[in-house]
Amino acid sequence: MFLLITRYTVPPDQMVDQAEAHRAWARGHIEAGHFIAAGPEVPLQGGIAVAVGVTREQLADWIKDDPYHVHGLAQYDIREYTIAAIRPGAEVLQG
């Protein structure tokens, strides 16, 4: 499982023009089954996406198409985790 952590490099009000395109990018990866969850941080300073069944290389390639990356509005940190314990019903996290 991967956690994709996004940190904004500009104030959130400077990201408005690309916000809908970024959300569409994330929704596309959710619909494709790459991300199982995605959303903004509270307070708004960045966001996360949870990815399963993918590789680090795939994530790095997909980031290149995120409008926040294309326009230099965010930095990305890809972290990989091995799920060692899980509650029933959450097996999707084991990818």
CATH number, span 2-94:
3.30.70.1060
Q: Enter the DSSP assignment of 45.
A: S
- pLDDT for position 86: 79
pLDDT of residue 87: 84
Q: pLDDT confidence of 60, banded at 50, 70, 90? A: very high
Hey, how many other C-beta atoms are within 10 angstroms of the C-beta on 92?
15
Q: Where are the domains of the chain?
A: 2-94
CA distances from 8 to 11, 34, 58, 86, 94 (A): 7, 22, 21, 31, 28
Report the percentage of the chain scoring pLDDT > 90: 86
